[in-house]
Amino acid sequence: MTQAGRRRRGRGWWRFGLLTALLVAAACVPVKAPPPPPPASPLVQAACESRIQSSTAGQVASNDLIETSGVAASRRNAGVLWAHNDSGDSARVFAMTTSGGHLGWFTLAGASATDWEDMALGPGPQAGQSYLYLGDIGDNNSVRTSVVVYRVPEPTVDVSQPPGDNQVLGGVDALVLQYPDGAHDAEALAVDPVNGDIVIVTKNLSGEAGVYVLRASSPTSTLTRTGTLELGFATLVTGASVAPDGTAVALRTYGSVLLYPRADGTPLDDAFRSSPCTGASVSEPQGEAIAVTADGRGYVTISEGSHPPVNRFDIT
């Protein structure tokens, strides 16, 4: 072999040795496994498996609750639902039984009602106290420079001794919020039962719903946009609710219910990064209100209108 041949052969062995070393090194580098999917709550799992059955629990008895836009299942009062009217009513919230029986209504001291669209329950400033959150977040023409979420301690209601009408709730906080990118119409409000983060999902004819968040720890009143839901043209989000343990988030539109799993230890708005399962629903003339039940194993929906049915959906 000539000297030139020996040099070429030497270079070949050198390349072979380098390639071998690189392959060995690559084999020693641990491969990062993809994160596991968020664990599905019983409610989400049942929706994925079409194991949610509908029934009619009763009908709204109140003559004044005729434009039900928001509903929430009480955390501290067994057998109680909270609800409120759409725009045009005063700043009040109604208590009713889970079958729609009227228990009374409460005025929020110092509050006003421009366009109340949804409500939620969650923690607040006082540890161990459940709070009602009322979302004055409607803006059909997208012109409001700010929106308001009212927060008030949830009162005690005894189903066996209804409180009656025109009770006054004090200790009301008005959380004035701004969007970072201009005005938006919205009808869906959710509150993280773990830490009190506020989530608003907008209503758009395009079907592109913006997800906006105010962290409970935020020093400002400006919401942060953390995502966009591509729901399809004319799919309008009209309500939201969170399971009491925080493992599921329900969104409703005029024609559907979407259930999103929320992984433990993640922000509430992260739930919308996962794929939802479609829950059972029934046709309602103008269905806007949804509430996950107190046990987290079902939800109720109510339409606007005079004495509408209270539609219930439970895991079978």
Q: Residues 247, 296: contact at Cβ < 8 Å?
A: yes
Banded pLDDT at 180 (limits 50, 70, 90): very high
The whole-number pLDDT of residue 26 equals 42
Rounded mean pLDDT, 120-149: 97
Rounded mean pLDDT, 106-134: 97
The whole-number pLDDT of residue 32 equals 57
Amino acid identity, residue 264?
Answer: D
Distance CA 28, CA 126 (A): 52
The whole-number pLDDT of residue 268 equals 98
Paired with 209 in beta bridges are 229
Percent of the chain past pLDDT 90, that is, above it, reads: 87
Banded pLDDT at 24 (limits 50, 70, 90): very low
The whole-number pLDDT of residue 33 equals 55
The string of DSSP letters for the chain reads --HHHHHHHHHHHHHHHHHHHHHHHHHHSPPPPPPPPPPPPHHHHHHHTT-EEEEEEEE---SS--SEEEEEE-SSSTTEEEEEE-TTS-SEEEEEETT--EEEEEEETT---S---EEEEE--SSTT--EEEEEE---TTS--S-EEEEEEEPPP-BTTB---S-EEE---EEEEEB-BTB---EEEEEE-TTT--EEEEE--TTSEEEEEEE-TT-SSSB-EEEEEEE--TT--EEEEEE-TTSSEEEEEESS-EEEEE--TTS-GGGGGGSPPEEEP----TTEEEEEE-TTSSEEEEEESSSS-EEEEEEE-
The whole-number pLDDT of residue 34 equals 55
Banded pLDDT at 23 (limits 50, 70, 90): very low
The whole-number pLDDT of residue 46 equals 97
Banded pLDDT at 25 (limits 50, 70, 90): very low
Rounded mean pLDDT, 41-67: 97
Percent of the chain past pLDDT 70, that is, above it, reads: 87
Helix (H, G, I), strand (E, B) or coil at 126: coil
The whole-number pLDDT of residue 120 equals 98
Distance CA 218, CA 164 (A): 38
